[in-house]
Amino acid sequence: MRDIYKYGRCRDGDNHNLFFSQNASDLARAQAICAECPVRLKCLALALEEGLEYGVWGGVIFWEGQAFHRKRGRGRPRLSEAHLPVEADREELYELVKSA
């Protein structure tokens, strides 16, 4: 399981801060990096098993211990996005990350 630290795309360059930023655009960039990562499912599994509080893990944003598969913008959701859930359960997260 710890091979995510060796093979993760997050280790390329100076990307580490993106994965723990409070800026929505940084988090979106981190998720884009995760989308091309060969160990993203292992990374997500690690985050869920260890109950990690913050950061982008396997393409999923963890905030105060809750996993969000998309970050909702400020204010009211757009009418076109009102039906989309913000939180997802474990199985939904795995399916979302696999299909990304």
Cα 45 to Cα 41: distance, rounded to the nearest angstrom: 6
Q: Which residue has the tokens 């390329």?
A: 12
How many domains does the structure of the chain reveal? 1
| Parent domain of 79 | 4-99
pTM (whole model) above 0.75 = no
DSSP codes of every residue in 27-40: HHHHHHHHHT-TTH
For 60, the enclosing helix (H) or strand (E) is strand 60-63
Give me the tens of pLDDT residue by residue for the chain, a chain 100 residues long: 566 667 888 887 777 789 999 888 898 899 999 988 989 889 988 898 899 999 999 989 998 888 876 545 556 656 665 555 555 566 766 676 666 5
Tokens standing for residue 44: 């997500």
Q: Which residue has the tokens 């409070």?
A: 22
